[in-house]
């Protein structure tokens, strides 16, 4: 039997969590761009910024894939596990 979904404790805790998340994201991006500018040296900075953007996009995609698979409710039937076949038939 599936477990019921958990709910946020209160509006205040949800607000605090969202403010902390936003502050953390802003800190990450501002420090990341400064780090790239310092480490990449003189000259054009297009390539280092593009590499960081590609890695970030791949990480977001991987996170979305993991979230989708883990929230499917049937972990033994996910396409990544290799236990399911097309059409749901075996043999």
Report pLDDT digits (tens) over 24-60: 988 888 888 888 888 888 888 899 999 988 998 998 8
69 neighbors 78 (Cβ within 8 angstroms)? yes
Residue 60 lies in a domain: yes
- 2 close to 72: Cβ distance less than 8 angstroms: no
Residues 49 and 70 in one domain: yes
- Confirm whether 28 is domain-assigned: yes
Number of domains within the chain: 2
Rounded Cα–Cα distance for residues 23 and 44 (Å): 29
Considering the entire predicted model, what is its pTM?
0.51
Range of the domain at 68: 42-75
Whether 70 and 49 map to the same domain: the answer is yes
Alpha helices by DSSP H, listed for 1-91, are: 11-39, 46-70
Q: Does any domain span residue 89?
A: no
pLDDT in tens, 60-80: 899 899 888 888 776 555 555
Are 25 and 47 found together in one domain?
A: no
């Amino acid at each position: 039997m599936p477990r019921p979904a958990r709910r946020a404790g209160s509006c205040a805790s949800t607000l605090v969590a969202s403010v902390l998340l936003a502050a953390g994201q802003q800190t990450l991006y501002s420090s990341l761009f400064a780090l790239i500018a310092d480490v990449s040296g003189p000259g054009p900075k297009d390539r280092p910024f593009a590499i960081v953007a590609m890695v970030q996009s791949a990480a977001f995609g991987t996170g979305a894939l993991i979230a989708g698979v883990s929230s499917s409710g049937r972990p033994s039937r996910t396409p990544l596990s290799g236990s399911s076949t097309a059409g749901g038939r075996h043999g």
